[in-house]
Amino acid sequence: MFVSRELIEKTKNNLYDNRKPSYSQNFLKSPEFVKSLINKTADIITKLLNSKNPPETAYLILQDKAAERFVGDPLVKDTQMSILLKTSYEMNIVANIDRSNFIPIPKINAVLVRFKKRMEPLVEIQDCQLFRDFVVYGYNQWKPTVVEAFKKVFNQKQISIIEKIGIRKVKPRGLKIDQWLILFETFFNEVPENKKNLVIGAEKRLKNQQRKLSKWHRTR
């Protein structure tokens, strides 16, 4: 499916519009759209799928390497982005796209990715932000193991619970979604509120850091 430049521009503007749609929508985007916003792909997909009324199914044409970051396991190891999306969406590559289908021919390989909303989310809606903060906190401690990453959060008793699922020596980026869910359950049920406060707001803090870094690079 190909779309006109006018429609692409309209779609870009709508995605950056702060107003949320009043109904669920299905989307199919062109490679030109993605290429023009390649540095903001993650922001666009997050805004699209985490909106007040997210689409039931979204089809996006993405660069193959970018697609792997969003789909994660079983294609590659899960990433922070894929873990955050998997609580609400099932994701898979449905087709490889021949570069020669487009003019001009792009230098990157493109694939069609389907994001299908789960009938039942893996995390309760009211706990979704806490889970996101938990995952972001773990990924961004830059520690060699998940236990080291959460050293300030989990006490020895809680670490012993973690050991039972065999992830003591695993890096945060080595965890799959089911392991993150078990880890989060331990955090949610066992960790006192004062320790939870170390994690709360982690996603917002990361976004602020990225925003400042981006601004710094633009003004150099």
Q: How far is CA 54 from the centre of its chain?
A: 14
Condensed to tens digits (0 to 9), the pLDDT of residues 147-171 reads: 999 999 999 888 887 877 788 788 9
Q: Could you give the angle at the alpha carbon of 29 between the alpha carbons of 28 and 35, nearest 5°?
A: 160
pTM, two decimals, is 0.78
In this prediction, residues 25-31 reach a mean pLDDT of 49
Token look-up 């004062």 returns 194
Condensed to tens digits (0 to 9), the pLDDT of residues 82-122 reads: 999 999 999 999 999 988 888 888 888 899 999 999 999 99
First-to-last C-alpha distance (Å) of the chain:
40
Q: Which of 163, 168, 164, 158 is nearest to 196 (CA)?
A: 158
Mean pLDDT (the chain) is: 82
Buried b (16+ CB within 10 A) or exposed e, 67-79: bbbbbbeebeebb
Of 64-68, 69-73, 156-160, which range is least confident? 156-160
Query: From residue 132, how far is each of 19, 166, 200 by CA, in Å?
Result: 23, 22, 9
E strand spans, the chain: 27-28, 57-63, 89-97, 110-117
The domains of the chain, with CATH numbers, are 5-117 (3.40.50.150), 125-218 (no CATH)
